[in-house]
């Protein structure tokens, strides 16, 4: 009887080696190619809020020179030197994408920021403009003189900042149980990332706007094992199974950057540097609690709806030309 039980377990193990089930309705057989997933378009909740933004009255021209990782954190490893950074080094590209996505629901080009190319890409741009200018001069004639190249657009604001914090093991925990050699465990870990974004006036150098956003990164793991002696303690049975799931650090950084852009737009509207064009007949209750207008909640898990509602009421009084009693 016990020999038959062990034979069944070995058969299950062999079948498990040949076919591995992965969460997400994905089953990998002997070929690794069957496990490869197609690329996906990332659309986080903060991205949807950016797209649903009401348009700006006048689109400000902004430039992004640098938006780097300022944490200096490296990937943790046990006794091995690692040169891999803990967070993405492409935060500048994520910021530019967020700026262009603001208000893109009504216009694919975006309705908020006009972003000009700066940083390392500016050298390539200048070289290409020189090629265009020299080509036009080469093929110019007396009847059709060479046309000049349109001057570059200058930015009224420079957006600065970066990833200023990345903390691991902010919160850890778990639980488990074991009985007669059969046990199960589950654990979790919470990390955090902090992003800072500020807008600097090109003419005066004054810092006009400054916001910081915080995003948690969750990692979970579950597992089970069997450790039993069989056949008068002469045979040992061991089984283990488990799975871990880690929230993408890059996605978390992107979400924090998108939330920072949302907060920057809100702060700029409050201080009068630009104006949000609200739709006609908009309702405060719907904008605060409705499904299509929760974009003002920078962090839906932590931000208080009552504070948002009060802010919207103040904006409504301002738009109607009334004075706030506070």
Per the structure, the complete domain to which residue 36 belongs is given by 1-40
Q: Are residues 313 and 245 in the same domain?
A: no
Q: Are residues 310 and 264 in the same domain?
A: no
pLDDT band at residue 40 under the 50/70/90 scheme: confident
Is the residue at 257 inside a domain?
Answer: yes
Range of lowest pLDDT (79-83, 111-115, 259-263, 291-295)? 291-295
Summarize the confidence of residues 157-186 as an average pLDDT.
89
**What pLDDT is attached to residue 197?**
93
For residues 29 and 144, which has the higher predicted lDDT (pLDDT)? 144
- pTM, rounded to two decimals: 0.72
pLDDT band at residue 209 under the 50/70/90 scheme: very high
Residues β-bridged to residue 190 = 171, 218
Average pLDDT, the chain: 76
How many domains, the chain?
A: 3
Q: pLDDT tens digits, residue range 4-23?
A: 555 555 455 444 444 455 55
Choose the final residue of a domain: 273, 292, 314.
273
pLDDT band at residue 31 under the 50/70/90 scheme: low
Q: Are residues 79 and 167 in the same domain?
A: yes
Is the residue at 145 inside a domain?
Answer: no
Highest mean predicted confidence (pLDDT) among 7-11, 83-87, 151-155, 160-164: 160-164
Q: Are residues 199 and 321 in the same domain?
A: no
Q: Are residues 237 and 181 in the same domain?
A: yes
Is the residue at 112 inside a domain?
Answer: no
Q: Are residues 83 and 69 in the same domain?
A: yes
Q: Are residues 292 and 265 in the same domain?
A: no
Choose the final residue of a domain: 273, 301, 318.
273
> Both tokens of residue 246?
């880690």
Chain-centre distance of CA 72, in angstroms? Answer: 19
Go through 83-96 and write b for each residue having 16 or more CB atoms within 10 A of its CB, e for each that does not.
Answer: eebbbbeebbebbb
Q: pLDDT tens digits, residue range 55-109?
A: 888 889 999 999 988 888 887 766 565 677 888 888 899 999 899 888 877 777 7
Asked if the model's pLDDT at residue 42 lies above 60, the reply is: yes
Q: Are residues 36 and 77 in the same domain?
A: no
**What pLDDT is attached to residue 53?**
83
**What pLDDT is attached to residue 179?**
86
Q: Are residues 181 and 256 in the same domain?
A: yes
* Residue 232 belongs to domain with CATH number: 3.40.50.10610
Pair 244, 237: CB distance under 8 Å: no
DSSP 206-244: -EEEEEEEEEEEEEEEEEEEEEEEETTTTEEEEEEEEEE
pLDDT band at residue 257 under the 50/70/90 scheme: very high
Choose the final residue of a domain: 234, 257, 273.
273
**What pLDDT is attached to residue 318?**
46
Q: Are residues 181 and 213 in the same domain?
A: yes
Q: Using CA atoms, how far apart are residues 155 and 208, in angstroms rounded to an integer?
A: 14
Is the residue at 230 inside a domain?
Answer: yes
pLDDT band at residue 226 under the 50/70/90 scheme: confident
């Amino acid at each position: 009887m016990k020999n038959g039980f062990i034979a069944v377990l070995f058969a299950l193990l062999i079948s498990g080696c040949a076919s591995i089930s992965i969460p997400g309705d994905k089953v990998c057989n002997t070929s690794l190619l069957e496990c490869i997933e197609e690329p996906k378009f990332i659309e986080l909740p903060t991205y949807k809020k950016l797209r649903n933004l009401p348009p700006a009255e006048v689109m400000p021209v902004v430039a992004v020179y640098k938006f780097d990782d300022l944490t200096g954190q490296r990937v943790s490893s046990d006794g091995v030197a690692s040169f891999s950074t803990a967070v993405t080094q492409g935060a500048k590209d994520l910021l530019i994408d967020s700026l262009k996505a603001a208000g893109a629901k009504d216009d694919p080009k975006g309705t908020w920021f006009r972003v000009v190319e700066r940083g390392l890409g500016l050298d390539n741009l200048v070289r290409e403009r020189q090629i265009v200018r020299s080509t036009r001069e080469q093929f110019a004639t007396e009847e059709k003189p060479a046309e000049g190249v349109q001057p570059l657009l200058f930015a009224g604001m420079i957006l600065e900042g970066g990833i200023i914090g990345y903390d691991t093991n902010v919160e850890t925990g778990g639980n488990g149980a074991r009985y007669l050699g059969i046990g199960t465990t589950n654990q979790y870990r919470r990390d955090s990332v902090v992003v800072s974004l500020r807008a600097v006036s090109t003419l005066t150098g004054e810092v006009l706007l400054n916001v910081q956003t915080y995003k948690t990164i969750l990692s979970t793991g579950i597992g089970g094992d069997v450790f039993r002696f069989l056949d008068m303690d002469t045979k040992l049975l061991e089984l283990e199974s488990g799975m871990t799931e880690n929230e993408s650090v890059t996605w978390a950084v992107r979400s924090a950057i998108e939330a920072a852009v949302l907060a920057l737009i809100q702060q700029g509207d409050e201080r009068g540097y630009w104006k949000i064009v609200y739709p006609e007949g908009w309702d405060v209750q719907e904008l605060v609690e409705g499904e299509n207008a929760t974009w003002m909640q920078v962090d839906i898990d932590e931000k208080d709806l009552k504070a948002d509602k009060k802010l919207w009421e103040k904006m409504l009084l301002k738009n109607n030309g009334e004075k706030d009693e506070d």
